[in-house]
Amino acid sequence: MSVHGIPEKVPVALIGRALRQGWRDFRGLAGVSMGFAACFVVIGMLLMTAFVTIGMGPMVPPLIGGFMLFGPVSMAGYHALLSARRAGRPVSLGVAYGAMKHTPRPVWVMGVFCGFMVLVWLTDAGTLYSFMVGEWRHDWLSVLPHSSQLLRFHSGAAIMGGALALIVYTVTVHSVLLLVRGQGTLVTAVTASVRAVGRSFVAHVLWAVVLALTVMASIFLLPALLVVLPVAAFASIHWNEAAFPPAANDARR
């Protein structure tokens, strides 16, 4: 389906199929895809440790949520790895990082947008933190809602962040990959992404929930992110191709 036309309708059943396809792709690219994910794992660990060290342990979950919002930009690297494997070309970390380096400018514009939304989320969560917690928490236990005070804070931050995350997800779930595939401009890609979400709203919401729960759970067990992030990335590529089939797109270009 052309990026300028009506996206294909995505069924809920595609969630399981996309995850299975993502797992299959990961098994074929395990070493290099885990290596590419390692940089995000290291960054995540450093940020989490820094927040706990300065006494803002309860802010770690909002930080993780914000970190996820910036995730779509990394899709360029995973798309390059999968494309190289499909074409029978050698795959390496250089392929992934090279794709990130030469990513089309509109993708980085999307990255700036995601970064701005992260700052908005953290600012709102920080304001809520000052009112509902208002004290330094240097222990790792404070990362989890183990008290009624922390539970209220995490619930409030999740509600605020969820609204921002839905906006970012709707805008980026298809647009980033369409831009990486060289289809359309920033405006047409974003418009196509919004149309695709609206056309298969229930399926896309459930897909967002699956991604959010699995990725956030793995971040609390960071080594698991080495597997979960590539699987989610490859599955997202298949999700995108279901809404915008490459063969149809290529035929119309």
CA 92 to chain centre: 22
CA distances from 13 to 209, 215, 243 (A): 14, 20, 13
Q: Would you state the structure tokens that stand for residue 100, as one six-digit string?
A: 């990130």
Q: Choose among 122, 123, 111, 142: nearest CA to 64.
A: 122
pTM, to two decimals: 0.86
Q: What is the DSSP letter of 158?
A: H
Q: Dihedral (C-alpha) 49, 54, 60, 64: value to the nearest 10 degrees?
A: -60
Neighbours of 112 (CB within 10 A): 10
- Note down pLDDT in tens along the chain; length 253 residues: 456 568 899 999 999 999 999 999 999 999 999 999 898 888 878 888 888 888 888 888 887 776 666 677 788 899 999 999 999 999 999 999 888 888 888 888 888 888 888 888 888 888 888 888 878 787 787 777 777 888 888 888 888 778 888 888 999 999 999 999 888 889 999 999 999 999 999 999 999 999 888 877 777 777 888 999 899 999 999 999 999 998 544 434 3
